Chains A and B, each alone.
Chain A
Amino acid sequence: MLHRLLVEPFALPFMQRALIEALLLGMLGGVVSVFVLLRRLAFVSDALTHTVFPGVVLGYLVAQTRGIVWGALLFAVLSAVLLTVLSANRRVTEDATLAILLTGFFSVGVVLVSRRTSYTADLTGFLFGRILFVDRREIVETAVVGAIVLVTLAALGKEFLLRAFDPDGAAALGYRLPLLDLALNVLVALVVVAAVKAVGTVLVIALLVVPAAAGRLLSDRLTVILAAAVAAGGLAGWFGLAASYQASVYHGLRLASGATVVLALVGLYALAFAVAAGRRGLGRLGWLDRLAAAGRPAGGGRA
């Protein structure tokens, strides 16, 4: 039974390729999500998925499908630089800057699309991904991007962590914090670009946020979080694809594969949540107490 659910679908070459891509992206996302968690880059990830849009359109106009990755990358770097520059003003919080960049860049993309309509045929694919159609070349591309990201993280990981936990210390040691931030943002952008084809822009954010968030529920220790995040990313790819296959082939229910992967990831998050809650002792009803405390007047109450 389990064999039919989780192994059999992947005898088919196209499911196999989708699985490899999902595993690569899931585990890559798992690693990067740890830094997204530590540096609170969830909104940055979300914004990058939108700011690359005009780059995708321009890249497509210049060099068809081959141009997409480079256009996206160019605009990702551009928005990372603008984010750093605009946030230098203390009156403007980073989240407001991000929202403005996100909507502004996306609107530029919309203007480009409505001027020249040739790209929109792939707009849906861009938003939701086509993981079932990945070919060998794209898998290799993902693997290369993944290797670049992992090698950079291995080289700069210590600096990123220092920046996250002790920014003053990092600055005192002579690190240029804006440059470190920029480097990390570019790495996130690379994952976004690599994952666009598979899960689409709007769901990439799940890969970059949820794995480490799930790991964080289970432990405070970085290595455990990292291991849990990588495992969650990989497993979600596997289970999600299997669920999509099962539903559409045996039950006549079409479920978009990108969405089932993300839902599997959210399911794992919920599982981690339950485990964490169970560990803290359901007897004391920890969260109920806390929720009640948050809602209760702290001092005496007000008429």
Chain B
Amino acid sequence: MRIRAFSLAIAGLTTAGLLAWALGGCGTTAASPGASGGAPAPVRVVATTTQVADFARNIGGDRIQLTQLLKPNVDPHDYEASPADVLAIAQADVVLKNGVGLEKFLDEAISSAGFNGAVIDTSQGVRIRTGNGTDEEKAGDPHIWHNPRNAKIMAHNIAVGLSTKDPADAALFERNDTAYAAKLDALDRDIQTRIDTLPADQRKLVTNHDAFGYYVDRYKLQFVGSVIPSFDTSAELSGKDITDLVAKIKATGVKAIFSESSLPPKTAETIGQEAGVKVIGGEDALYGDTLGPAGSAGDTYLTMEEHNTQTIVDGLS
């Protein structure tokens, strides 16, 4: 009697499996791009990070139809794909990624979506800093966009990639690229001028995690340490970690710890109290991994870098 019930269950499972398999065999045609007749449809673009999406908006304008996977203030580690995301990848013409190992989820998503179009690695041609030594940053430090010169390269890579997909609009993409590059140059000069207003011995940075390596290198700041020692944001700290960083802060005489918008400020506050320095967080937090939501001080790449610089200069002077 019971044995029969089990055989029944096994039979049920097998049939269901076979049925679904058979369905899979004949139904594999995903909704394919159907641009036919009339004005050419805009290029369908999927961008992974908030920064890359912002660059793509600046280059592509209304000639692209953009889907951005990571939402503002979401740590890439906590990314959870929705069916709509995978569908967008399946129907995309181009996928734009930051590269340098930031998008660990992307390979799975791409193979899951069955996407075999062009994946443009915007970090092509950027000089990559060595990572922090963990497996996580084997490929190098992925926060390349915090140097506006790298941002220029990334934007250019996007322009080239879009032009290959949509040659008819190549001239427009190139114009947009040139215009945006000028803005990035202006941003670069502006940041430099403002950092220069700081006394030389105050150009020291303690952040929540070390996302700002490229920024520190570009503007000759001194990096003292970070609250979370690696890119990883999940590990719990030990008492020793905290004591060590507090000692470092006291020894170098840094004035402030900068918290980041996508990370919990609690640990930074504990360390700030301990070392007797202020913690800059909340509304004024730096944008490290992502841009801010629309309407915030960091909703585009340009305003985000301006905000970060202003916050750092205010905090350290």
Q: Which residues of A contact B (CB under 8 A)?
A: 9-17, 19-20, 23-24, 27-28, 30-31, 110, 113-114, 116-118, 120-125, 128, 130, 132-135, 143, 146-147, 150-151, 153-154, 157-158, 161, 222-223, 226-227, 230, 234, 241, 244-245, 248-249, 252, 254-257
Contacts and interface: CB of A to CB of B under 8 A. Distances in A.
4 nearest A-B pairs in the assembled complex, by CB-CB distance: A118-B135, A248-B84, A248-B82, A117-B232
Nearest to B132: A117
Contact of A27 (B13, B85, B111, B236): B13
Interface stretch (B25-33, B49-57, B270-278): B25-33
Interface in B1-55: 1-3, 5-10, 12-13, 16-17, 20-21, 23-24, 27-28, 30-31
Interface of B is mostly: helix
Given A154-B10, A226-B9, 19 more contacts: A14-B112, A20-B20, A23-B20, A27-B9, A27-B13, A31-B6, A31-B9, A114-B235, A121-B136, A123-B234, A124-B77, A128-B80, A130-B105, A133-B108, A134-B112, A146-B13, A150-B9, A154-B6, A255-B82
A150 B78 contact: no
Contacts of A110: 236
Given A16-B24, A124-B78, A143 B17 contact: yes
Given A157-B3, A158-B2, A24 B13 contact: yes
A19 B20 contact: yes
A110 B232 CA distance: 13
A266 B17 CA distance: 24
B73 to A, nearest CB: 14
Contacts of A27: 9, 12-13, 16
Interface string B73-91: 0000111111111110010
Contacts of B23: 10, 16
Nearest to B135: A118
13 contacts: A20-B17, A20-B24, A24-B16, A27-B13, A30-B9, A118-B136, A120-B232, A124-B77, A132-B82, A133-B109, A248-B85, A255-B82, A256-B80
A119 B2 CA distance: 43
B178 interface: no
